[in-house]
């Protein structure tokens, strides 16, 4: 296990995990549930190592931004309000709101109060054009799981697209300055340092 983790750390092909995630959503949307790993793993590693280990060496999304950033000739400086201003808080609030809506709607689908929403959306409200192809069917899956899968796919797609846009406007990994995982990890480290 240790050897696998060591070989993955700073692996230059980690960006392929990001691309594979979205391709898997085209094969069958339920595979998008893998996206939860991107939310859980950073905190598991943070609590075990006391460092932002995931961000520093394992994040496929950061690798993806770095990869596409290589196609740019110049990099604009990341604005200060991303690094020290309110943008982190704004994105964190959006992330928490998104999670809340996702859980509330999935609970309503589970209880039969609403049908599953079988489409990907940008920023909660704007449907992506066209349907995901769904090349392989999985039978017998509860509608609330399908709904949740579309929602996690939408959230990952939305944040990835915003990250790509920021990467083209500024430095390739500008998303990392406002990423909720980073903001929450910093808060955790600040709190744990104060307790020592």
Nearer to ligand SF4, 86 or 186 (CB): 186
Whether 25 and 32 have beta carbons less than 8 Å apart is answered as: yes
Got the DSSP string for 81-121?
Answer: HHHTSTHHHHHHHHHHHHHHHHHHHHHHHHHTSS----S-E
Quote the CA–CA distance of 158 and 182 in Å, as a whole number: 17
Binding of ligand SF4 at residue 17 (CB under 6 A)? no
Number of neighbours of residue 63 by Cβ within 10 angstroms? 20
> Interacting stretch for ligand SF4, rule CB under 6 A, among 13-21, 55-63, 109-117, 138-146?
55-63
Binding of ligand SF4 at residue 182 (CB under 6 A)? yes
Terminal alpha carbon distance of the chain: 31
Binding of ligand SF4 at residue 46 (CB under 6 A)? no
Quote the CA–CA distance of 72 and 45 in Å, as a whole number: 32
Which of 29, 109, 148, 176 binds ligand SF4 (CB under 6 A)? It is: 176
Which of 25, 35, 42, 57 binds ligand SF4 (CB under 6 A)? It is: 42
Q: What is the residue whose two structure tokens read 């799981």? A: 145
Which of 30, 61, 67, 88 binds ligand SF4 (CB under 6 A)? It is: 61
- Residues shown for the chain: 196
Whether 145 and 107 have beta carbons less than 8 Å apart is answered as: no
> Mask of contacts with ligand SF4, 130-169, x by CB under 6 A?
----------------------------------------
Which of 15, 153, 170, 175 binds ligand SF4 (CB under 6 A)? It is: 175
- Residues in contact with ligand SF4, counted by CB under 6 A, come to a total of 11
Tell me the closest approach of the beta carbon of residue 56 to ligand SF4, in angstroms.
8
Binding of ligand SF4 at residue 66 (CB under 6 A)? no
Quote the CA–CA distance of 193 and 196 in Å, as a whole number: 5
- Judged by CB under 6 A, the chain residues 110 through 129 that form the site for ligand SF4 are none
Q: Which residues pair with 126 in a beta bridge?
A: 122
Tell me the closest approach of the beta carbon of residue 182 to ligand SF4, in angstroms.
4
Judged by the rule CB under 6 A, the positions of this chain that interact with ligand SF4 are 42, 54-55, 59, 61-62, 175-176, 179, 181-182
């Amino acid at each position: 296990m240790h050897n696998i983790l060591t070989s993955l750390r700073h692996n230059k092909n980690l960006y392929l995990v990001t691309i594979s995630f979205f391709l898997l959503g085209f094969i069958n949307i339920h595979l998008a549930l893998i996206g939860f790993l991107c939310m859980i793993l950073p905190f598991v590693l943070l609590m075990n190592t006391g460092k932002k280990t995931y961000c520093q060496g394992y994040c496929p999304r950061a690798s993806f931004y770095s990869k596409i950033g290589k196609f740019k000739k110049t990099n604009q400086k990341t604005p200060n309000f991303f690094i020290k201003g309110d943008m982190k808080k704004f994105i964190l609030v959006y992330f928490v709101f998104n999670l809340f809506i996702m859980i509330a709607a999935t609970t309503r689908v589970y209880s039969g109060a609403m049908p599953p929403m079988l489409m990907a959306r940008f920023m909660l409200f704007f449907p992506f054009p066209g349907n995901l192809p769904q090349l392989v069917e999985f039978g017998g899956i509860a509608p609330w799981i399908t709904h949740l899968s579309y929602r996690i796919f939408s959230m990952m797609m939305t944040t990835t697209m915003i990250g790509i846009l920021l990467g083209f406007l500024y430095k390739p990994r500008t998303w990392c300055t406002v990423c909720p995982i980073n903001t929450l990890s910093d808060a955790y480290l600040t709190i744990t340092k104060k307790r020592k």
